[in-house]
C-alpha cells in the first residue's frame, strides 16, 4: 500500500474543515463539521476522529497537519492560546491527535498554514519566498522563506497587521497605536463606513440597506462599489493605498517574490488590488517591486486545509 | 598545513579594511588602505593583492569574503552598482579576485556582511534569527534567519531605512515618502538640528560651535546631550522613539531573538537605546518583545570584516 496522501485540518472557531490531499496539493476527499467557541479540545478531537474514520482514503495518509488560530508552539505541538476557542490554554494537541490519526502530526498557526497553502496553490512551486496576507476581522500574515514557514524566536512571526501605518494615530486592540489592523480590520472598516455621511447617504447604499442589510460590512461596501457608487469606491481606494504603504515597506524589507492576499475581505478583488499595486509601485524600490508579483488567492477557501496537509510534505 | 583561517574584506568608499580571522571570529592579523570614490575595480584588486601578500597568515586561509555597499548579485559575485564607487557597474568582482586570493570568494552587500558579523560577535553563536540595523548617513539593515543571511528574491532584502514612519510626510531620496531614513539619516538629522532654534541657541551647542565645529553632526549632538543639554537630549529621545516605532513593527513581523544596532550614529549609545527600548516595549507584542534582546554592537568597527570573512564559514 502506497501511503502518499496527507491529511490537513483547518480548525476554525465556527467550522472545522478536513481534507485529504495528494502530493500536488489536489484535494482527494474532504469533509467538515460545525465548531463553536465553547468546544473543548476533547470534543474537537472526538469529532475529528469520527469524521476522518469515514474518509475512504485515510488508509493512504502518511501524515497529519492542523492549522489553528492563535499562539502555537509548533515545536511541541501545543496550542498555547486561541482567541477563537474558549479556555484552550497550553493544549497538548499534537499528543492528543497522534493517538488516533496518521503520524507525524504537526500543529501550526492558521495564517502560517495558509501561507504554505498559498506557496503551493497560488505559487505553484515556482516561488521560494512569499508573504501571505489574510484580510478579515484581523489583518494576519504568514511568511515563507526558502519554501519553509518562518517562525521567528517564539513562533509569532508574521503579524503584518501590527505594523504602524500612522504611529501617533488610532489606538489598536493590541495596545499600540496606528497599526494597520486598526484601520483595515473588517470591524473597524464597518464602523468607519457607518460614520461616513457621504457613504451612508449614497443612493446605492440606501438601497442595499432597504434590502434588509443591518451592517455596512466589507461585502456591502464592495457590492456598492461594483454597482458604481463613488463613495464606496473611495473606501476601497483608501484600503488599497494603506495596505500598499505597508506592503511597500515589506517589499523593501523582505524582497519577496510573491505576495498573496487571502481571507474574506480579499474577495473585494481589483477594488483593493488596483490602488494597492499603484501604491507599492510608487513607494518601493524598483528592482524588488519589478520582481514581486502581487495577487489575490484563487484558492482562498482551501488554503488553510491544503497548507496544513503540507506541513509534513 | 591546516588551512583553518578566513580572509574578510570590508570594501568602503574611503577605506578598505582587511582581516584574517579564525573560526571563532577572532582577528589574527589585519591591514587597511585608503580608498576613493574614483578607484577602478582594477585599482582596488591590485591594492588588495599587494596588501594581502604581506600578511603572514595568508597561507593558512581557506576562503575569502568581501562586503561592498550597494546592489550585489551574491550568487554570481557581481557588484551590480555601488553608490560609493564611481562607475562600478556589473563588475565581476568574484571572478577578478579568485585569480589571486584563496578560493572560494564570496561577494556580499556590506550591511548583510555586518549582520553576519553581529550574529557571531555580538550574538556569540547563541542566536539564530537576528536583525542588524546600521545607523549612519543611511539607515541600512541585514537579516539573518536560521544563521544564514536572508537575501530575498533579488538580493536586496533588509532595507529597514525605507519603511515609512510617516507615510504622508517628508520626501525621501528613494522617491517614496516618510521613510525612517528621511528623518534619522545623519544628514537629515544635522539639517533638522541646524533649523532647531532652541537647540542652536543652547549654551552647550554654542560652546561646541566656538570650539571650531562647523556642522551639527550626530557626534556633536550626542556630546551636547552627554554634557546635560536638554534640547540635544530631546533630539535623541525623538531618534530613539522613531527607530523604536519601526523596530516594534519588525519585532511583530519577524520575531527576532536579537536586534543589533551598529554604524557610526549607534555610538550615541544609551541616548538612543533607552527611548528606543521603551518604545518597543510599549508598542510590540509582549511575548516577542520579552524574547528579543536589543543591543548596540560592541564590535562596530570590525563587524564588516569579520562578517565578510564568515561568508564561507
**Positive/negative CA dihedral, A66, A72, A78, A80:** negative
Chain B: residue nearest A249 by CA? Answer: B163
How many beta carbons lie within 10 A of that of residue A171, not counting itself?
A: 11
Distance CA B230, CA B264 (A): 22
Q: Which regions of chain A does DSSP assign to beta strands (E)?
A: 5-11, 15-21, 27-34, 61-68, 71-73, 78-81, 89-91, 105-109, 130-135, 139-145, 148-149, 258-262, 293-296
Chain B residue numbers with beta carbons less than 8 Å from the beta carbon of A157 are 253-255
Q: Does B152 touch chain A (CB under 8 A)?
A: yes
How, if at all, do strands B130-135 and B258-262 pair?
parallel
Q: Is B133 on the interface with A (CB under 8 A)?
A: no
According to DSSP, residue A289 is labeled: H
Report yes or no: B292 at the A interface, CB cutoff 8 Å: yes
pLDDT tens-digit profile, chain B (313 residues) = 578 999 999 998 889 999 999 999 999 999 999 999 999 999 999 999 999 999 999 999 999 999 998 889 999 999 998 888 999 999 999 999 999 999 999 999 999 999 999 999 999 989 999 999 999 988 999 999 999 999 999 999 999 999 999 999 999 988 999 999 999 999 999 999 999 999 999 989 988 888 776 789 999 999 999 999 999 999 999 999 999 999 999 999 999 999 999 999 999 999 999 999 999 999 999 999 999 999 999 999 999 999 999 999 8
From B129, B152, B176, residue closest to A254, measured CB to CB: B152
pLDDT value for A257: 97
Whether B157 and A255 lie within 8 Å, measured CB to CB: yes
Burial of B66 (0-12, 13-18, 19+ CB in 10 A): buried
- Nine-digit cell string for B209: 560651535
Inter-chain CB proximity A283 and B176 less than 8 Å? yes
The 3-state DSSP class for residue A108 equals: strand
Taking only the tens of pLDDT, chain A with its 313 residues reads 578 999 999 998 889 999 999 999 999 999 999 999 999 999 999 999 999 999 999 999 999 999 998 889 999 999 998 888 999 999 999 999 999 999 999 999 999 999 999 999 999 989 999 999 999 988 999 999 999 999 999 999 999 999 999 999 999 988 999 999 999 999 999 999 999 999 999 989 988 888 776 789 999 999 999 999 999 999 999 999 999 999 999 999 999 999 999 999 999 999 999 999 999 999 999 999 999 999 999 999 999 999 999 999 8
User: In this predicted structure, what is the pLDDT of residue A212?
Assistant: 73
DSSP class per residue in A165-181: SSTTSSB-TTSSBSBTH
Give ∠ CA A146-A151-A155 in degrees, rounded to 5: 170
- pLDDT for B254 equals 98
The candidate with the shortest Cα–Cα distance to A108, out of A157, A60, A59, is A157
- HSE-CB of B206 using CA atoms within 13 angstroms: 5
**Measured between alpha carbons, how far is A36 from B69 in angstroms, rounded to an integer?**
55
Sheet holding B89-91, edge to edge: B71-73, B78-81, B89-91
Place of cell 556590506: B110
- CA–CA distance from A136 to each of A140, A215, B92 (Å)? 8, 15, 47
Model's pTM, two decimal places?
0.94
> What was the pLDDT predicted at B1?
56
Q: Which of A145, A156, A248 is facing B287, going by the closest CB pair?
A: A156
Could you say which of B143, B250, B288 has the minimum Cβ distance to residue A153? B288
Quote the DSSP letter at residue B312: G
Region of residue B293 (phi > 0: left; psi between -120 and 50: alpha; otherwise: beta): beta
Q: Min CA distance, B55 vs chain A (Å)? A: 38
CA distance A9 to B238: 47
- Tell me the C-alpha distance between A39 and A68, whole Å: 14
> How many CB atoms sit inside 10 A of residue B50's CB?
11
Extract the runs of DSSP E, i.e. beta strands, from chain B: 5-11, 15-21, 27-34, 61-68, 71-73, 78-81, 89-91, 105-109, 130-135, 139-145, 148-149, 258-262, 293-296
What is B169-197 written as a DSSP string? Answer: SSB-TTSSBSBTHHHHSHHHHHHHHHH-H
Which residue(s) pair with B74 in the sheet? none
pLDDT at B8: 98
Q: Is B172 on the interface with A (CB under 8 A)?
A: no
If you ran DSSP here, which 8-state letter would residue B140 be given? E
- Cell 507584542 identifies what position? B285
Angstrom distance (rounded) from CA A95 to CA A99:
7
Among the partner-chain residues B129, B285, B287, the one whose CB lies closest to the CB of A162 is B285
* Type and span of the H or E element at B63: strand B61-68
Please tell me the predicted confidence (pLDDT) of residue B211: 74
Amino acid at each position: 500500500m502506497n501511503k502518499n496522501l496527507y491529511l490537513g485540518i483547518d480548525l476554525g472557531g465556527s467550522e472545522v474543515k478536513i481534507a485529504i490531499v495528494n502530493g500536488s496539493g489536489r484535494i482527494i476527499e474532504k469533509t467538515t463539521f460545525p465548531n463553536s467557541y465553547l468546544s473543548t479540545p476533547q470534543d474537537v478531537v472526538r469529532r475529528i476522529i469520527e469524521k476522518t474514520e469515514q474518509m475512504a482514503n485515510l488508509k493512504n495518509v502518511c501524515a497529519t497537519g492542523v492549522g489553528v488560530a492563535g499562539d502555537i508552539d509548533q515545536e511541541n505541538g501545543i496550542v498555547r492560546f486561541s482567541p477563537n476557542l474558549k479556555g484552550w490554554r497550553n493544549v497538548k494537541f499534537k499528543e492528543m491527535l497522534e493517538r488516533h490519526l496518521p503520524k507525524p502530526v504537526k500543529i501550526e498557526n492558521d495564517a502560517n498554514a495558509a501561507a504554505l497553502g498559498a506557496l503551493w496553490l497560488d505559487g505553484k512551486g515556482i516561488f521560494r519566498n512569499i508573504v501571505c496576507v489574510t484580510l478579515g476581522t484581523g489583518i494576519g500574515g504568514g511568511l515563507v522563506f526558502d519554501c519553509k514557514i518562518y517562525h521567528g524566536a517564539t513562533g509569532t512571526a508574521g503579524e503584518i497587521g501590527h505594523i504602524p501605518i500612522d504611529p501617533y494615530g488610532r489606538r489598536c486592540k493590541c495596545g499600540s497605536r496606528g497599526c494597520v489592523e486598526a484601520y483595515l480590520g473588517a470591524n473597524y472598516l464597518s464602523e468607519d463606513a457607518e460614520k461616513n455621511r457621504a457613504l451612508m447617504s449614497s443612493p446605492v447604499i440606501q438601497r442595499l440597506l432597504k434590502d434588509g442589510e443591518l451592517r455596512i460590512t466589507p461585502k456591502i461596501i464592495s457590492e456598492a462599489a461594483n454597482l458604481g457608487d463613488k463613495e464606496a469606491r473611495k473606501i476601497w481606494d483608501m484600503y488599497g493605498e494603506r495596505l500598499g504603504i505597508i506592503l511597500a515597506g515589506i517589499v523593501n524589507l523582505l524582497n519577496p517574490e510573491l505576495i498573496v492576499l487571502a481571507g474574506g475581505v480579499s474577495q473585494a478583488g481589483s477594488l483593493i488590488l488596483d490602488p494597492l499595486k499603484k501604491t507599492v509601485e510608487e513607494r518601493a524600490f524598483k528592482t524588488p517591486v519589478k520582481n514581486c508579483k502581487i495577487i489575490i488567492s484563487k484558492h482562498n477557501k482551501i488554503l488553510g486545509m491544503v497548507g496544513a496537509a503540507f506541513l509534513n510534505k
